[in-house]
Amino acid sequence: MTTQRHYSPIDRLLLQADAAMRTLLPFSGQPYRPSPAIVQPDAQMNDEDTRHVAGLMRINHTGEVCAQALYQGQALTAKLPQVRAAMEHAAEEEIDHLVWCEQRIHQLGSHTSILNPLFYGMSFGIGAVAGLISDKVSLGFVAATEHQVCKHLNEHLEQLPAEDEKSRAILEQMRIDEEHHAESALDAGGFRFPAPVKFGMSLLAKVMTKSTYRI
């Protein structure tokens, strides 16, 4: 029979610090699944399209940085052990997306956003506050966030050049995973946020996308 390890507050803070470093340091994350882009052919794109795709993938990478921070903050303050475990598991799955986006950005000859530490700190704080309020609110925030991410992914898929099958494969798999995370959070009892709250979240997302497209 296996037993679940119980971590002290200091242990959890150290784990959070380790997770932050693995999220923010270049090429420090280890994916659990290979990138869907591996089996797709290379494509020649002009400089304008290459810069545009790199900008889109940089936005998605920063979005995954925010997701990591959000889940880690929620796991730190979750009330129920099963909710904490679910948040930690979701964070592990999001590592795949983080690494896939980073790899693709590198292939395109570009860089990840220098604003990532700022967005990580903000998202961690939001996640921790949501967890302190209640697990129901925390799970609801996950669902609302993932629905917002899916909306952005759909927009980016429409903007990709037809020949860029590598980026398309990554974003399509990310969309499948994010939809699953959203539905799982609601099935677990997550609160369905009202439209005004979702609108506010959308405005914040636009600030992130506009600022990280180039930097």
Task: Give tens-digit pLDDT for 133-146.
Answer: 888 888 888 888 88
pLDDT value at residue 73: 83
pLDDT value at residue 176: 93
The answer to whether the CB of 64 falls within 8 A of the CB of 98 is yes
Distance, CA of 59 to chain centre: 10
pLDDT value at residue 132: 85
pLDDT of residue 4 exceeding 90: no
**What's the rounded Cα separation, in Å, for the pair 174 and 150?**
8
What is the token pair recorded at 126?
Answer: 């939001």
Name the most confidently modeled range: 40-44, 46-50, 129-133, 181-185.
46-50
pLDDT of residue 167 exceeding 60: yes
pLDDT bin (cut points 50, 70, 90) of residue 3 is very low
Residue from 152, 141, 130 nearest 192 by CA:
141
**What's the rounded Cα separation, in Å, for the pair 114 and 215?**
6
**What's the rounded Cα separation, in Å, for the pair 141 and 204?**
14
The continuous run of DSSP H or E covering 208 comes out as helix 195-212
pLDDT bin (cut points 50, 70, 90) of residue 7 is low
pLDDT of residue 163 exceeding 90: yes
pLDDT tens, residue by residue, 57-98? 999 999 989 888 888 887 777 777 777 677 767 777 788 999
pLDDT of residue 31 exceeding 90: no
pLDDT of residue 47 exceeding 90: yes
pLDDT of residue 169 exceeding 70: yes
- Among 2-11, 18-27, 32-41, name the one with the lowest average pLDDT: 2-11
pLDDT value at residue 81: 75
Mean pLDDT, residues 36-56 taken together: 94
pTM recorded for the entire structure:
0.84
Mean pLDDT, residues 43-57 taken together: 95
- What integer best gives the mean pLDDT of the chain? 84
What is the token pair recorded at 93?
Answer: 């799955």
The answer to whether the CB of 23 falls within 8 A of the CB of 69 is yes
pLDDT bin (cut points 50, 70, 90) of residue 2 is very low
Q: At what angle do helices 165-187 and 135-159 cross, to 10 degrees?
A: 160
